[in-house]
Amino acid sequence: SEFLKMARLFTGETDINVWRALIGAFAYLDMIASDADRPALAATVREIVAPAAKRLGWEAKSGESALVRQLRGTLIGALGTLGDDPQVHKRARDLYARFEDNPDSADRDLMPALVNILAHCGDAARYEEFKRKFKAPRTPQEEQRFLFALANFRDRDLLKKTMEMTLDGQVRTQNSPYLMHSLMLNPACRYQAWDFARAHWDEMIQKYPDNALPRMCEAVVALLDREDEIKKFFAEHRVRLGGKIIDQHLERLSVAVGFRRREGANLQATLKG
């Protein structure tokens, strides 16, 4: 409740670093929130972020600094994902289509946010479009952008396809652990992604770079309902490199579980209030 009171004082903030800190905190709350509480949390994000996004607008202006342009993308991206704003979804679809028709007009600071928003609210047709763009990119940056967007959809059947891509050769082995990391952070499929990783662990150990596995496992911090199971799994499945790093991830998971136990009901009451 104290954090949300404080956050409401920052609607006039213009510093991108402050906004990144605030949005990061909202992402953490989204991680511990129940499915029932998430719509109220999204409404709070819209209430706090929308005034700042409205001041900047959707179009870059002559003479703007690079930080202002980056801030626009950060705020709009938060509104369309954490804020789940349907009006932002519509505007993002329209602007993305315009940029597709005229690639030279695309705002490079806004395009990543548009892609993430369209994945967040996307259907099977959008998924297949992004998959095609990942496989036939115009630039290396575009390849990465559309690949990781495939982990941000919310349809579980589509997300299962993304999981399978991490092992069937469609994704390079150096990218696969990071794609699984993103899937395990997605509230729509995080436990499904963990079950997939656990079921295919031996194959992942063989295929994935040793130094990338601890990074993939960082996402276990989001698996709050499986703490005991996850700790037992890693006690029985030690990795070749980065064992201490995984121990730190497990500690962060325990912190998140403790935080939800202490503040979960308070969050629910504050959002309803």
How many CB atoms are located within 10 Å of the residue 172 CB? 10
Ranges of the chain with pLDDT below 70: 273
pLDDT at res. 32:
93
Contact between 62 and 69 (Cβ < 8 Å)? no
63: left (phi over 0), alpha (psi -120 to 50) or beta: left
CB neighbour list of residue 146: distance below 8 Å, 6 or more residues apart: 115, 130, 131, 133, 134, 137
Query: What residue ranges do the domains of the chain occupy?
Result: 1-121, 154-262
pLDDT at res. 104:
81
Contact between 180 and 216 (Cβ < 8 Å)? yes
CB neighbour list of residue 188: distance below 8 Å, 6 or more residues apart: 153, 154, 155, 156, 159
CB neighbour list of residue 141: distance below 8 Å, 6 or more residues apart: none
Residue type, 93: R
pLDDT digits 0-9 by tens, 210-238: 889 999 999 999 999 999 999 999 999 98
Rounded to two decimals, what is the model's pTM?
0.94
pLDDT at res. 256:
97
pLDDT at res. 268:
84
CB neighbour list of residue 198: distance below 8 Å, 6 or more residues apart: 233
How many CB atoms are located within 10 Å of the residue 102 CB? 8
Contact between 200 and 167 (Cβ < 8 Å)? yes
Contact between 84 and 120 (Cβ < 8 Å)? yes
